[in-house]
């Protein structure tokens, strides 16, 4: 089963990441954290990586977590979860 939760943000990615913190994580689930930026600027990406790293560090160690970035006019953060069906 695939679960997707996403939030739009204006300037500070931390706003959207704070919203995602309320999503309950499960052990043994694979996660993909995707975020988009309005333009790829190395300095700005570096600033956002610290917030993303802090968010990902909150996941249980048993989970496999990846992240990816894209360029888009709408700035979003999306958390995809691949949940095994038993």
Provide the angle, in degrees to the nearest 10, between the axes of the packed helices 42-57 and 13-20. 20
Question: With contact defined as beta carbons under 8 Å apart, do 80 and 32 qualify?
Answer: yes
Whose tokens are 């095994």? That residue is: 84
Pairing of strands 30-37, 76-82: antiparallel
The pLDDT confidence band at residue 6, using thresholds 50, 70 and 90, is: very high
Q: Give the Cα separation of 9 and 17 in Å (integer).
A: 9
Q: Name the more confident of 17 and 61.
A: 17
Quickly list DSSP for 52-63: HHHHHHTS-TTS
Residue 13 pLDDT: 85
Whether residue 47 is predicted with pLDDT greater than 80 in this model: the reply is no
């Amino acid at each position: 089963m695939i679960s997707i939760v996403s939030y739009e943000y204006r300037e500070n990615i931390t706003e959207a990441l704070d919203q995602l913190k309320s999503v309950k994580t499960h052990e043994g689930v694979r996660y993909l954290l995707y975020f988009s930026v309005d333009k790829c600027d190395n300095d700005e990406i570096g600033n956002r990586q610290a917030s993303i790293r802090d968010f990902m560090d909150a996941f249980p160690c048993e989970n496999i977590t990846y992240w990816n970035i894209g360029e888009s006019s709408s700035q979003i953060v999306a958390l995809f979860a691949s949940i095994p069906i038993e």
